[in-house]
A and B are shown apart, each in its own frame.
Chain A
Amino acid sequence: MDGESKRWAVAGRKAAAVGRIAFRHQLAYKTDFAMRGFFLLFILFVFIQLWSAAYEGDFSKSISGFTLKQIVWYLVFTEALTLAAPPLCSRIEEEVKNGDVAIRLIRPQSYAGYHFSVFASEALTRFVVHLAIGSAIAWPFVGPPSFGYGWLGLLALSAGALTVTFLLLMIVGLCAFWVEETSGLYFVLQKLQFTIGGMLLPIDLMPEWLQRVCAWLPFQAALYFPARMGVHFDSTLLVKQLAIQIGWIVLLGLAVSRMYRRGVKKLHVNGG
């Protein structure tokens, strides 16, 4: 094994160790899990009622290529992915404010790598739980998610989607190295994900000019791609979307790396 491969293998083993402990740590937050599960049930119930009214309860009707069943399951997938993301921005902001960032930086591990391990561990667990909860409400109202290889497409694109989400949150979180308050930036990012990311509405239902704008932004890779593939499997499109996700991961990864290298020089660790 050459030096570079060995370095990546070591980083992978460290990431797996952090992921394992983060998984066990989050099991302590049972109330948080229950609250989010309840909120997901509530929000999906509201959406099912709204979309049922829009489709006039007609299961055969199609709007921009989506039937009522597809749109409800699409929302289950986007909500499961959205609520899976842990509050990374506020964590980094808190670490900088109370000085806990020092504990991260005394370890022989990359700062972004540590946060990615914790994020991945928590997000994957939450995603599975949210899918189960979402299925529990969507199934009785619109029937089972029988979309051929749709599940395969969803799972194939979800890993990349969560990675893109992580990198977007990391970019906002790292701003805390310059400005101590990132909640405004996070608010904007979240709303962009909700709208042009395709969380509330598939991008296919948006005006054409907006669809062209969305195509040049990373937000659709984080929510729209996996959810749409889940209800509309297309193997050619899957390969294209995987390639787009990889492109965004490389680009955003470089941005995170550059921001970290510049930010850590500016860092002012508070408190003792």
Chain B
Amino acid sequence: MLALQTRGLGKTFRVKRKEAGLSGSFRSLWKPNWETKEAVRGIDLTVREGETVAFLGPNGAGKSTTIKMLTGILHPSFGEAKVLGLTPWKERERLAYRIGAVFGQKSQLWYHLPPIDTFELISRIYEMKRDEYTRRKDDLIERFELGPYLHTPVRKLSLGERMRCEIAASFLHGPRLLFMDEPTIGLDAVVKQRIRELIRERNREEGTTVFLTSHDAGDVETLCSRAVVIHHGGVLVDEPVDRMKREVLSRKIVTLKLAGHGSRAALPDIAGTRWETEEGGCRLAVDLKRTTIERVLSELVGRVGFTDVNVEDPPLEEIIKHIYGMKGEAD
């Protein structure tokens, strides 16, 4: 069954264009210059129930606007969409019972009250039966390890603790489809990994469809089976993450903090890698199709003096830029 389907879904906004300076401000008062901005340009998308889809793109590509149209928050300017069989902007309240949403930069928890109070409110708003609420709440508290801070006011929680509560709250009413807009933004690596595991587990155990936007390649790799990349408001790539991984996520970045006065000239050339110098250290771009991290590190040890080393994914922006390059749309 389809979780969602869109046909030519798009959204335009009217924005006031203002010239710089005081005279520009006065001119804008008397003669405003409006222009139409196309935030989403006719997206065609189909997601089946149980899928985990990463919805990617640079800032301003229209990811959040698309999610807001699919959750019924925004009305589209043109096109059609069905989410779990309903038209989101026409049947917003009915759809709300079946979906959940996490906005990484916005909180649904009541700031001065402990998370348990928001859980209780959600159970009432979603008309959950008492025994069903107790069962789901206890399960989520155990799985998300919320016990120690369930009765602590939200304002006293760390970002990681709060995000765990936010995500657990979104799963409480048993949504069939969960929209997540940058759920791991601002979190440290350990918390990110834990949150990814928990979402993955919910997807596996309850079959919840996950539709996620993120700027973190780790979220895409760990959580999603399919990636949709949009650019300038339209779909650019729609393919399985495994294939994308082979083609474009096949790079790692090794960052070294050189010991003493190490210079670029003294660094050895290693097959399948490329050196990129940066202030205070060196970055080694590793092509995993040609070599392995293990081989690269063993070559580095003993040949290069360094005080610290860090292995990470390239930023998602870089990956997307690479995709644009492959599609012949590079800047």
Contact = CB atoms under 8 A, between A and B. Distances in A.
Interface in B68-118: 68, 71-75, 92-94, 96-97, 99-101, 103-108, 110-113, 117-118
A14 B120 CA distance: 11
Given A10-B127, A14-B124, A272-B181, A103 B72 contact: no
Contacts of A207: none
A269 B125 contact: no
A24 B121 CA distance: 12
Interface in A223-272: 264-265, 267-269, 271-272
A17 B74 contact: no
A264 B75 contact: yes
Given A106-B101, A107-B96, A21 B121 contact: yes
Contact of A108 (B73, B93, B108, B118): B93
A228 B29 CA distance: 45
B101 A265 contact: no
A109 B124 CA distance: 11
B126 interface: yes
Given A21-B121, A102-B103, A109 B110 contact: no
B13 interface: yes
Contact of A106 (B73, B113, B124): B73
B64 interface: yes
A55 B127 CA distance: 58
A260 to B, nearest CB: 12
B60 to A, nearest CB: 11
Given A24-B117, A99-B106, A272-B103, A108 B124 contact: no
A100 interface: yes
A272 B64 contact: yes
Contacts of A156: none
Interface centre among A14, A17, A264, A272, by most chain B C-beta atoms within 10 angstroms, is A272
Contact of B71 (A28, A98, A106): A106
A25 interface: yes
In order of increasing CB-CB distance, the 10 nearest A-B pairs are: A17-B124, A28-B112, A108-B96, A105-B73, A265-B75, A106-B101, A272-B105, A108-B93, A21-B121, A103-B108
Interface of B: 13, 64, 68, 71-75, 92-94, 96-97, 99-101, 103-108, 110-113, 117-118, 120-121, 124-127, 153, 181-182
Interface of A: 10, 13-14, 17-18, 21, 24-25, 28, 98-103, 105-110, 264-265, 267-269, 271-272
